Structure 1
Amino acid sequence: MTAIVINLRPTIELTDDEFYKFCQQNPNLRIETTATGALIVTPPVGGRTGKRNADLTTDVGLWNRQADLGVVFDSSTIFKLPNGANKSPDVAWISHDRWNALTSEQQERFPPIAPDFVIELRSRTDDIVDLEAKMQEYIDNGVRLGWLIDPQAEQVKIYRQGQPVETLQSPLTLSGETVLPGFLLDLSRIFR
């Protein structure tokens, strides 16, 4: 089952408040929007992908507890990107300085900020072309480092500001580089 895209405009244009309320009234749906306002409804993931996603969030979270450099978010968090899209990466991280610059209300709702770092984990139902476009959208909107992890192909695509996408086949680890200094992700649990 793939994502369903529902084009609302020009018939309906949801404000940020209306989109937020719509998501609150439909908590069992995974909903994002494109920059043009189309709704994207994605199916839930299966157990294997859910486990992998929990492992990734835990690994970034444990690093962050030690480093204390920012805030970690799981896949249920929606971010309002500068281009107007509402996106929910599988794992996200924002530095303390940028997070603390938001108001309390902005932090409470769908934060109007592009994370510094994101991970997208491909599930069996995800279209790789759609995920690659989503990753590029993150970079175009200010994400500094992004990893697209594809367990089926045992491949990782690394997205960085101002650089071409780097593709790694069966890497053992990934470095957080200067964005997540000292973070090293062990991929053995993801690729088995």
Structure 2
Amino acid sequence: MHSISDILNIILESIFIGFGIVIPIFVLAMRTSNLKAIAFKELFILTAVQTVRIAGILYFVLWLVHSWEQYNDPVVTGGMPFKDKLFGPFWLVYLFSPLMKFFLSQLFWIKKLYFKKAALITFALLLVILPSQRVLVFVASLNSKDYLPSAWSLSTSDMLIEIALNIVVFIFIVIPILLGSGKLKKILEK
């Protein structure tokens, strides 16, 4: 059974992954001369950026609380003490991923990053690739001389299903925020 913080972490990670996949596609694929479609696209991107900024803060706070609980708990799940997680061979996975998600999501407070297409696409893709658990486990296993290819395997269908679910969760979070803001009605009325 998952705790509420675990479920919230899964939702927040879905926001990051969905943002990193949907926004580049949305920016590159949606070219139109219809003013309402352009206004909707800009509003969707702005709402998604605002959602990612808030998600980054929540994710980082949850990670800090979880780390503090593990630091103070003498018996940590998995049998690995906090010091071993932080300074062991997989420190990259434990420390780098949350810090990169926080840092990259907070860069979107800079307007130039989400107003320029190239910067928006680049940072959205970095938000998916850099803090990815799979990429970090791969790099950490190379660093600790764990060259077993069986540890790297992942079914392609499982990965595609996971990505599709992350995209669906992202859209089901951004669209209600977009509708609740009331700005979409103003665009449709014009």
Which structure has the higher relative contact order (CA within 8 Å, separation 6+)? 2
- Band of TM-score, shorter chain: under 0.3
Query: TM-score, with normalisation over the residues of structure 1?
Result: 0.26
The structure with more helix, counted as a fraction of residues: 2
The structure with more strand, counted as a fraction of residues: 1
